[in-house]
Structure 1
Amino acid sequence: MPTYVAFLRAINLGAKRKFPKADIVAATEAAGGTDVATHINTGNVRLSIPLRSRAKVEAALEAAYLQHTGFEVPTVVYTPAELRAIAAHARELSEARPTLERHYIYLLKSAPTPERVEAVVGASDEVNEVVVRDRAAHVLLGAGYVAGNVDPYRVERSLGVVATNRNLNVVSTLAEKWC
């Protein structure tokens, strides 16, 4: 049975979007997931499920999460191999930048259009950079980062696809732990 890693967007933000880990596990199991595990309370889920299409897995999870919580929970799903590749690329990017202060990884439901990629990558400057590969956008903020051309929230909106972000540590830890 295939295994996937799912990233839930916009949960546990304020009083109205609470989705505790135990409820995530129950809803994931209701969607047909087995061998469910979570990591910290930010919506990181490993599961096995007989579905073989990423889109079908996302749809099944989103339907179960909506039924369980009463609000939509956009969900981005990767295979372990995909997440392992994202983590390896992230480590390479970080190691190549000794003055890097922050590294956010936007996990994307679908690949953005080439025009949108060009626009966000084009906002990079000598201190901050955006690198997009497939369904991951890396926001690399250098020493003395001050909101400017590369603003993480603007990058997310500019990509034009459903996204959720994690930092380098979370993505690396999950790749090591679950992949």
Structure 2
Amino acid sequence: MTNSQVALLRGINVGGARKFPVARQRELMRDLGYENVTVYIQSGNIVFADPGTPPEETARAIEARIAADLGFAVPVVVRTGDELAAVVAANPYPEAAAEPRTLHVVFLSAAPSDTSGLDALDAAGYAPDEFRLVGREIYLRCPDGIGRSELATRIGRARLGVTATARNWNTVTKLLALADA
């Protein structure tokens, strides 16, 4: 059992846009009153002591502060350390963990009420790539890499009505290790 929360910020520091330096991420979190803040790589992965608020409330607070301080919107998905441990344990592609570059998790702010965009995908037509929706996560396995994956593109375009942000398996397991520390 961990006493951490993990904030996953979507779309920062990509291609020189929406710049949010690591030091500023740490500072913003501390200004919000969060403790034991660790930022893992510059793409928006922040582990901090669980403030005792529901993750959705924590996400809203972080989003509001980023908008107020930086002047642009950044969607945020938050998981508790225990929820992140459950994500790792629920991996439907355990063989892919040996090649972590091939496995990604798309974290959703909530379980989508409308999955028709995913249901319409003919997964067999994208083989060897495959995906599985499990609760609030989409596990995406791309043996030839995500950069060339048409399935990853289609999943990214699926209208699920929730915030989504993806992380590779290396990042997911590193964040869990930090949350457990």
Give the match for residue 112 of structure 1. Answer: 112
Cα pair distance change 1:20/1:57, threshold 3 Å: same
Q: Secondary structure at the match of 2:67?
A: helix
Amino acid at match of 1:108: L
Counterpart Cα distance in 1 of 2:118 and 2:153: 17
What per-residue deviation string (whole Å, max 9, x for no partner) do you get for residues 120-168 of structure 1?
Answer: 6x432241211111111011113588544x2x13202313321111101
Please say if residues 117 and 132 of structure 1, whose CA atoms lie closer than 8 Å, have aligned partners that are also in contact. Answer: no
TM-score, length basis structure 1: 0.84
Q: Secondary structure at the match of 2:110?
A: coil
Counterpart Cα distance in 2 of 1:50 and 1:143: 40
Greater RCO structure (CA 8 Å; 6+ sep): 2
Counterpart Cα distance in 2 of 1:171 and 1:17: 23
Give the match for residue 90 of structure 2. Answer: 89
Does 2:25 correspond to 1:24?
yes
5 Å-filtered alignment, 1:98-137, equals 102-113=102-113, 115-116=115-116, 119=119, 122-125=121-124, 126-137=127-138
In percent, how many aligned pairs have the same letter?
30
Deviation at 1:96, TM superposition (A): 6.4
5 Å-filtered alignment, 1:8-47, equals 8-47=9-48
Deviates most, 68-77 or 134-143: 134-143
Give the match for residue 165 of structure 1. Answer: 166
Deviates most, 44-53 or 104-113: 44-53
Give the match for residue 153 of structure 1. Answer: 153
Cα pair distance change 1:26/1:137, threshold 3 Å: same
TM-score, length basis structure 2: 0.83
Counterpart Cα distance in 2 of 1:161 and 1:11: 18
Q: How many residues align?
A: 174
Please say if residues 84 and 176 of structure 2, whose CA atoms lie closer than 8 Å, have aligned partners that are also in contact. Answer: yes
Cα pair distance change 1:60/1:129, threshold 3 Å: same
Deviation at 1:177, TM superposition (A): 2.6
- Structure 1 stretches lacking a partner, 5+ long: none
Structure 1 or 2: larger strand share? 1
Cα pair distance change 1:113/1:134, threshold 3 Å: same
Counterpart Cα distance in 2 of 1:168 and 1:144: 12
Counterpart Cα distance in 2 of 1:77 and 1:134: 15
Q: Secondary structure at the match of 1:42?
A: coil
Please say if residues 51 and 57 of structure 1, whose CA atoms lie closer than 8 Å, have aligned partners that are also in contact. Answer: no
Deviation at 1:117, TM superposition (A): 6.9
Amino acid at match of 2:122: A
CA root-mean-square deviation: 2.6
Amino acid at match of 2:20: F
Please say if residues 101 and 169 of structure 2, whose CA atoms lie closer than 8 Å, have aligned partners that are also in contact. Answer: no
Deviation at 1:100, TM superposition (A): 8.8
Please say if residues 104 and 169 of structure 2, whose CA atoms lie closer than 8 Å, have aligned partners that are also in contact. Answer: yes
Cα pair distance change 1:11/1:128, threshold 3 Å: same
